[in-house]
Amino acid sequence: MGSSVRKGKVVRQTGGHPPAATASRRQQERNGNNTRRSAEDYYHTPQKTAETCCSESRIIYGSEKNSNATARDLEVTIQTLIDNNNVMIFSRSTCKRCSKVKDLFKSMNIPYCSLELDQTEDGQRLEVVLLELAMERSVPVVYARQTKVGGYERTVKVHREIGFLKLLEVNGQVEEPSYDYDLIVIGGGSGGLAASKEAAKLGKKVLVLDFVVPTPLGTRWGLGGTCVNVGCIPKKLMHQTALLGQAIKDAPKFGWQLDEKVNHSWDTMTEAVQNYIGSLNWGYRVSLRENNVTYENAYGEFVGPHKIKATNNKGVEKFYTAERFLIATGERPRYLGIPGDKEYCITSDDLFSLAYCPGKTLVVGASYVALECAGFLAGLGLDVTVMVRSILLRGFDQDMANQIGQHMEEHGVKFIRRYVPTKVEQIKEGYPGLLKVTAHSAENSEVIEGEYNTVLLAIGRDACTRKIGLEEVGVKINEKTGKIPVNDGEQTNVPYIYAIGDVLEGKMELTPVAIHAGRLLVRRLYGGSRIKCDYVNVPTTVFTPLEYGACGYSEEKAIEKFGEDNIEVYHSYFWPLEWTVPSRDNNKCYAKVICHIRDKDRIVGFHVLGPNAGEITQGFAAAIKCGITKEQLDSTIGIHPVCAEIFTTLSVTKRSGGDILQSGC
């Protein structure tokens, strides 16, 4: 039984001959030539088979010899295949470039027919005739609408510059496959939601699939992704709670008479935070509906080209197709892989809705999540210890990271350095219970043990890419990290599949970055824009007790990129006026700019430790993006008395070794 591809579908033929052979017979009859061997006569052997998939008609012929076939017979055969297939690929099954060409057409969901010459009788003779006719040196040789496209390089060039749907026009109209949606977004986080609404505004039919796999302890949440539910939003609110606690301690120095001891209620705080998050979840659903975006609370998984399976929490499966897909699945916290970690430990996915005060807490990890959580828990008056394997805040400026660690230690957070947990055991059940943690030194054979009410793991996050069927459609990932490599347009190696956010390889894992990239991507796909996301000079803030804002290069990265002799670092400590009356943390806040000497002292790195660091950094980020120089910064008049004013008066360089302590206003 043969196969034929027509209008995006595979149509089975029941006459026993492949479509090319049948057409050849008709052509021969029209020509009145019954003496020359036709394509059908040449190929009709008992071993002949045709294999088909959703977008491919792959013809493999048997080994029966047809040594009497003339060169003209072979030409007729080749021409017949070209004439009777919208896309015809002459290929070899062992040729890597042939496979890439076929994968390209599969990724576009364009049906094609391929002839595997190495599995075809007289394949060598056919190939010689083909290459002579096509004036090509080797396979693959691709034809579209009876017009030669060419080999691998030419085919890829046509795809990029013209597009095969354009090439396959008939009477000015394109035979495009029919899909359920223009765009399906996998992941209902900030980036995915922003992209989906932008696409809908541009008139596209959009589906968002979002599903939260519960944590080992059963925690789950609503629409909106990590930032809204278990990240930026609850973290900042709990950080603010801790700041208010510090303000209460400062208040008597400003004349406030607090007659009674002030206590904190964990239950009241978490209820208020979760109520606010719930309002955001509802708001996102309303916004999708108002923008005509279809939303399903279902787990998305690729099952084939342009096709996805959506499974809801009851196990009901639905299948959808789309012209394009956007992967915005984000990341989830990593576990240690030791006895007791998933049974007894929590992560940031559990902390912000925890039904009880965590009590004495061990935070494992040195990431910004680890230090932020340790900071606000300590600010609530809890006994907090941080266990660190190596350095703090890897990837951030280490000068700033070390000052953050020092400040936290001075404010009661204990650090156990160069140790790694190897076992967590439950001593006592409860809310909280009591856990025993065994840890081994990262430097020697020493073993320590400790007892805590709660163990919070914050050792990093893993991209949610390994269980969404990417292998079914050929999307490549970094096997070690699960991250997805993309080009500068957020496009994966499969042309109709894109990715944004934390799943991207080598990009900053920040909510505003995902939102910005998602909107710009959609505007390029559907709005005619050419603007791409700029991943350089992205501002960010770490909400530790002493907040850290940064934009541009760390000192280490600047030295690595420009050379130590080509950068100048200006820095200074400062003392916020608000902290002078309670007389705390004198000369603990710190400001630093990194300048590229050979580029007119352009500021390539901005760093600040102090209150409201995020607010300060956001303002300077615009100037840095515009290429501000040290001279321009010096000529800016400061606002007095505010923390950001210090950046307009920086004069001491690190290279000079001069005094940077501040003694007055």
Residues acting as catalytic residues: 640
Contacts of 374 (CB under 8 A, 6+ apart): 361, 363, 384, 386, 408, 413
- Token pair recorded at residue 263: 């206590």
Q: What is the DSSP string of 552-600?
A: E--HHHHHHHH-GGGEEEEEEEE--HHHHTTT-STT-EEEEEEEEGGGT
Cβ atoms within 10 Å of 182's Cβ, excluding its own: 18
Single out the residue of 197, 165, 5, 171 nearest to residue 84, CA to CA: 5
For residues 38, 40, 41, 46, the Cα torsion angle rounded to the nearest 10 degrees is: 170
Instruction: Give residue for tokens 């390089």.
Output: 153
C-alpha span between 122 and 586 (Å, rounded)? 87
Show the tokens assigned to 286.
């309303």
Please state, in angstroms and rounded to a whole number, the distance separating the CA atoms of residues 4 and 21: 11
CA within 13 Å, CB half, 189: 34
DSSP 33: -
| Contact status, residue 653 vs residue 630, Cβ threshold 8 Å | no
Q: What sign does the CA torsion over 111, 165, 169, 184 have?
A: positive
Q: Judge residue 13's burial from the number of C-beta atoms within 10 Å of its C-beta, 0-12 exposed, 13-18 middle, 19 or more buried.
A: middle
What the block records as the tokens of 537 is: 């000079």
Reported as type and span, the H/E element at residue 296 is strand 293-296
Half-sphere exposure of 501 (CA within 13 A, CB side): 31
Distance CA 168, CA 87 (A): 9
Local structure of 252: helix, strand or coil: helix
Contact 46, 64 (CB under 8 A): yes
Contact 348, 367 (CB under 8 A): no
The CA distance from 558 to 574, in Å, is 24
Q: Where are the beta strands (DSSP E) in 94-241?
A: 112-116, 141-144, 147-150, 169-170, 173-174, 181-186, 206-209
> How does strand 548-552 pair with strand 602-609?
antiparallel
Write out the H or E segment, with its range, that includes residue 622: helix 613-625
**Token pair 């004013």: residue:** 645
Other CB atoms within a 10 A radius of the CB of residue 495 amount to: 14
3-state class (DSSP) for residue 543? coil
Question: Tokens for 499?
Answer: 């990715």
